[in-house]
Structure 1
Amino acid sequence: MSNSSSGFFGDGPVALPPGGPLYLQLKRWIEDAVHRGDINPGDALPSERDLATKVDVSRVTVRKAVLQLVQEGVLIQKHGSGTFVAPRTQRVEQSLSHLTSFTEDMARRGMSVRAEWLDRGRYEPSPEETVALGLSAGELVARIARLRLTGDTPLAIERASLSVSVLPEPEAVVDSLYRHLDRSGNRPVRALQRIRAANLGEADARLLQVPAGSAGLHIERLSYLASGRVIEFTRSVYRGDTYDFVAELRIGAPTPGGARA
């Protein structure tokens, strides 16, 4: 066993946190050890056999616990080398109260971000795009897709669709889409955004550099002009281990003669 393994096991008997199936208890115990710094990013996890022996559980239980932690990005597995604690990634918070572009939002936080273009082009719209954007028969759609990164860490995949009447040359977008739209007076002023948790598919997981099946956030956004026209339909996928969305909630004033719940 490595030095990291001895620190991980400690000297006394192992007491798993109570509650739930045994593999989830073991999962929480490993997570606690990582958070305490008993094993650090890059350290190897003890072997499946050593873990099973020390904790007095089956190797199947160990395998299930480790698999969950790999899917959640806490651990990584390297073929032929073993299982390791994943590098820590800086979590990013984004307010749900303001409509800003990714570039503008990260700049306000003093974070260096960059984009890798995945697509910029004009296409026949899908039925979903036609309905969302209110496109006329025969009207094309402009699509831009980017992988968003801070440093070398990918954070999100953004796929935006707009009418070509709004974005006739999608290849002309070089940084912020909203900044580009602002020049033609087409910057959105409000948006409706839906967020759901989902496991990442193989293609998106590969782009985001996480295992397939990892936790992610799927976000659909319809952005509007002041006139009420839908200007942008965006579908984004965010890594669940790097992004937090934050909303400020206020209690409204009580209605006259009524009482607050």
Structure 2
Amino acid sequence: MTIAEFLEPGKWLRAGGGPRYVQLRQRLSDGVDQGVLRAGSSLPPEREIATITDLSRVTVRKAIRALAEDGLIVQRQGSGSFVASDIPRIEQSLSRLTSFSEDMSRRGMVSSSIWLERGVFMPSPEEILVLALSRDASVSRIGRLRTADDKPMAIERASLPTDVLPNPLLVETSLYDVLEHAGLRPVRALQKISAVNLDEETAGLLEVEPGAAGLRIERTSYLVDGRAVEFTRSIYRGDAYNFVAELQLAKEQGAQ
């Protein structure tokens, strides 16, 4: 059912049902409960809701304001109104090299994975370049949807040389646990973070609306001897993460 169909006034607006803004507020709240309005999705503009419901914009604005006060709707200046996310926002440090499983465990959350890809493949040109592979080498890939307390948080796709991870099926929960057991856990990494709008397939996996904000992270991880052993491309829900980095004032050259 579309939002427009759900908000057709003949289905819920009653002459003796109380103030109209209260009835609209309840209808929108029911839309969230029934999944018509999904967490993180945007509400139609006030003008559009007014047209659909045959209510005044003042009435619509009053209903949305009431929902915002209840914490069900988030209003963002210049962007509109959005259904509040039911995903807890997590602060992720950029100064520590940890696995998703370790991060969630430290927060008292249960992590799990839904496998999207797992096997040994011929490397792509990008994997050859980043991991310094020969063209006739193979690469182990693991791709999975990462969840915390059964809620989708991120999509991770990692590539590793086969002499580092010869059998991708060994990874059941934490990749870094497998690497640590083999004495090949990375000790440092370089990360590149960029903002993206999620395409339909990715949004579906993360259970958000297509076009929702996300964070793309590319990470190359290294052993103590400087060898690149992991190349990971991840997409994180934009409504679930804050990435935090500690910065220090750089000393000017020649300063005492």
Aligned to 1:239: 237
Cα deviation digits, residues 221-260 of structure 1 (max 9, x gap): 00000100001000000011111111112224455547xx
Aligned to 1:211: 209
- Give, in whole Å, the separation in 2 of the partners of 1:236 and 1:89: 18
Counterpart check, 1:6 vs 2:6? no
Aligned to 1:228: 226
Cα deviation digits, residues 182-204 of structure 1 (max 9, x gap): 11111000000000001111211
Counterpart check, 1:53 vs 2:56? yes
- Give, in whole Å, the separation in 1 of the partners of 2:151 and 2:166: 31
C-alpha displacement at 1:6, in angstroms? 2.0
Name the CA shift for 1:191/1:56 in 2 (closer, same or farther; >3 Å).
same
- Give, in whole Å, the separation in 2 of the partners of 1:55 and 1:209: 32
Structure 1 letter corresponding to 2:118: R
Aligned to 1:42: 33
Q: Is the 8 A contact 1:191 1:224 kept in 2?
A: yes
Name the CA shift for 1:144/1:257 in 2 (closer, same or farther; >3 Å).
closer
Q: Is the 8 A contact 2:20 2:59 kept in 1?
A: no
Q: Is the 8 A contact 1:118 1:145 kept in 2?
A: yes
Structure 1 stretches of 4+ moved >3 Å? 1-5, 7-10, 38-48, 72-75, 252-258
Q: Is the 8 A contact 1:41 1:87 kept in 2?
A: no
Output the aligned Cα RMSD: 3.5
C-alpha displacement at 1:209, in angstroms? 1.0
Gapped runs of 5+ residues in structure 1? 11-33, 58-67, 76-84
Name the CA shift for 1:218/1:4 in 2 (closer, same or farther; >3 Å).
farther
Gapped runs of 5+ residues in structure 2? 1-12, 38-42, 61-74
Relative to the length of structure 2, the TM-score reads 0.72
Range that drifts further, 40-49 or 121-130: 40-49
Name the CA shift for 1:246/1:163 in 2 (closer, same or farther; >3 Å).
same
C-alpha displacement at 1:114, in angstroms? 1.1
Aligned to 1:88: 86
Q: Sequence identity of aligned pairs in percent?
A: 49
- Give, in whole Å, the separation in 1 of the partners of 2:80 and 2:140: 34
Structure 2 letter corresponding to 1:104: E
Structure 1 letter corresponding to 2:182: S
- Give, in whole Å, the separation in 2 of the partners of 1:9 and 1:104: 44
Relative to the length of structure 1, the TM-score reads 0.71
Give the count of matched residue pairs.
212
